[in-house]
Amino acid sequence: MTKSEAPANLEATKADGLGCHAGKAELRRAAAAAGNSEMLERYAEDYPLGPHDQPQSMCPAFGSLRVGLRMRRTATILSGSACCVYGLTFTSHFYGARRSVGYVPFNSESLVTGKLFEDIRDAVHEMADPEHYDTVVITNLCVPSASGVPLRLLPKQINGVRIVGIDVPGFGVPTHAEAKDVLAGAMLKYAREEVEAGPVQAPRGGRAELPTVTLLGEMFPGDPLAIGQLLEPLGLAAGTVVPTREWRELYSALDGAAVAAIHPFYTASIREFVAAGRPIVPSAPVGHDGTADWLDAIGKACGVDEGKVSAAKRALLPQIRKALADKPIRGRITLSGYEGSELLVARLLVESGADVLYVGTACPHTQWSEPDRLWLEERGIAVRYRASLEQDVGAVEAFQPDLAIGTTPVVQKAKQLAIPGLYFTNLISARPLMGVAGAGSLADVINNAIANKSRFDAMHAFFEGVGVGDKAGVWEDTPVVKPRVDLSKFAKPAKGGRTTPNIDEETV
């Protein structure tokens, strides 16, 4: 690779440590100058911003990193600043990756001369051992993306091991949720082209007997089973969940009769399914109304006889209604998160009886959550896409709910206000939501949290004032030097007795 073939942007290296702190505009400018405008334009279309610019969340690359680390026989290599890689690997191991992450380091010289690209190519060749891997995923983080390190010039496969190069810059991909789509979409594109080129590997357990519905979005492990129960009377089966856990599952995902966009932000993945001729169904089977509409939509997409769909609804919907009624939720709730399932959870809470006032999601507005937005807004509930932390916190302050469900800083703010809070990611999205099993599954955790209000009041009263004003541990004013204690004012101790200061005269 010559210097001219592997262009790098000298501008990007002038500023020491160009990263997310350097400013998005600066990075975008550098990326455009390095010939990466096309990538930025595609991301701008796939992951639109606004009304808020960019939600405050973790480094987006964590999303794609996690998708790769969860796949069998898949090696992962990062190319980026050491501090970014340190943070990303730390977080991935915190979440139990149990897998090494490869790293190709660089310095200004290797970035400018194109040597970084050569180092990446060498690393990929070294890793591409078909004994151990089906795929090697190499990810450009912010600086290599801004500098135009051309991963597209890597070989498509080495010794039969697929090489998938992606750019996941924080200045182009707004959230870690959408970064999952960047990798899932790149893999689906690769797999689709393999399918078009000839026969591919069958799924591990063989092809399904019934037509399947591919499920798009990470979900609670029991949810695909619950969805399978809903599909069975329609003569369908729950198919592969995307992002997949191994390469060959990509073929069965593409082979589905339809794709359920359970999480609505998988724009690049949906593009591949559409290219494969698969119909896409929005929303998800949550609660009574959600399940009814979803079964209708799936039946239509898969050409199922209407009578069959109606019979399935007659059998399933009363069970869901009963499960919801058996586990009511009483209380006023605000809800926000960055998983993409926020609107679905809100629907379930409303059908359980909760008074949901606000739903904020870091994800963008797409047509695949449109039925959920309409359903919520018809009930007077404010829905905010690309919600900022300020909007989420503002909702908690304005509505003073009995429970705030949200991200860490939102829950922290709620607790400061003596409002019980639950973390969306750990405590809500890690529960079943779909079908009969999902109905009522949130009631216990939510009712228990709401019932904790008196404990929050007690803690609030106890800690009132701590961490604010002069108790914040930060001097906002110049400290005033107070007079020292005048020791002459202390009474002389009696023999063997204690000295008692004259409190009235003491100045401290």
Which DSSP string corresponds to 449-496?
Answer: HHHTHHHHHHHHHHHTTTTSGGGSS---SPPPPPPPP-GGGSPPPPTT
Buried b (16+ CB within 10 A) or exposed e, 405-430: bbbeebbebbeeebbbbbbbeebbbe
**Binding of ligand SF4 by 19 (CB under 6 A):** yes
**Binding of ligand SF4 by 371 (CB under 6 A):** no
Question: What is the residue whose two structure tokens read 């898949």?
Answer: 74
Question: What is the residue whose two structure tokens read 């973790």?
Answer: 58
Q: And the tokens for 234?
A: 């329609």
**Binding of ligand SF4 by 12 (CB under 6 A):** no
Q: Which of residues 80-139 bind ligand SF4 (CB under 6 A)?
A: 80-81, 84, 87
- Nearest distance from C-beta of residue 222 to ligand SF4, angstroms: 33
In the list 10, 11, 15, 20, the residue contacting ligand SF4 (rule: CB under 6 A) is 20
Which amino acid is it at 99?
R
The count of other CB atoms within 10 Å of the CB of residue 388 is: 18
Identify any residues that bridge with 74 across adjacent strands, giving them in sequence order: 135
Which amino acid is it at 441?
S
- Nearest distance from C-beta of residue 412 to ligand SF4, angstroms: 22
- Nearest distance from C-beta of residue 193 to ligand SF4, angstroms: 28
- Nearest distance from C-beta of residue 389 to ligand SF4, angstroms: 17
In the bound state with ligand SF4, the residue whose beta carbon lies nearer, of 26 and 246, is 26
- Nearest distance from C-beta of residue 489 to ligand SF4, angstroms: 59
The count of other CB atoms within 10 Å of the CB of residue 77 is: 21
Which amino acid is it at 446?
I
- Nearest distance from C-beta of residue 170 to ligand SF4, angstroms: 2
Number of shown-chain residues binding ligand SF4 (CB under 6 A): 11
Maximum separation of any 2 CA atoms in the chain, in Å: 104
Q: Where are the beta strands (DSSP E) in 233-325?
A: 237-242, 258-260, 280-281
In the bound state with ligand SF4, the residue whose beta carbon lies nearer, of 174 and 211, is 174
- Nearest distance from C-beta of residue 498 to ligand SF4, angstroms: 59
In the bound state with ligand SF4, the residue whose beta carbon lies nearer, of 19 and 264, is 19
In the bound state with ligand SF4, the residue whose beta carbon lies nearer, of 61 and 254, is 61
Q: Where are the beta strands (DSSP E) in 141-290?
A: 157-158, 161-167, 212-216, 237-242, 258-260, 280-281
- Nearest distance from C-beta of residue 402 to ligand SF4, angstroms: 36
In the bound state with ligand SF4, the residue whose beta carbon lies nearer, of 31 and 270, is 31
Site string for ligand SF4, 44-83 (x = CB under 6 A): ---------------x-x------------------xx--
Q: Which of residues 145-184 bind ligand SF4 (CB under 6 A)?
A: 170
Q: Could you give the CA distance from residue 378 to residue 68 in angstroms, rounded to a whole number?
A: 39
**Binding of ligand SF4 by 292 (CB under 6 A):** no
In the bound state with ligand SF4, the residue whose beta carbon lies nearer, of 174 and 440, is 174
CB hemisphere CA count around 330 (13 angstroms): 2
In the bound state with ligand SF4, the residue whose beta carbon lies nearer, of 28 and 413, is 28
3-class SS of residue 78:
strand
- Nearest distance from C-beta of residue 311 to ligand SF4, angstroms: 51
In the list 6, 30, 136, 142, the residue contacting ligand SF4 (rule: CB under 6 A) is 142
**Binding of ligand SF4 by 141 (CB under 6 A):** yes
Report which residue's Cβ sits closest to ligand SF4: 170
Of 446, 445, 444, 435, nearest to 320 (Cα)?
A: 435
- Sequence length of the chain is 508
Kindly list the residues in this chain that would bind ligand SF4 in the complex (CB under 6 A): 19-20, 59, 61, 80-81, 84, 87, 141-142, 170
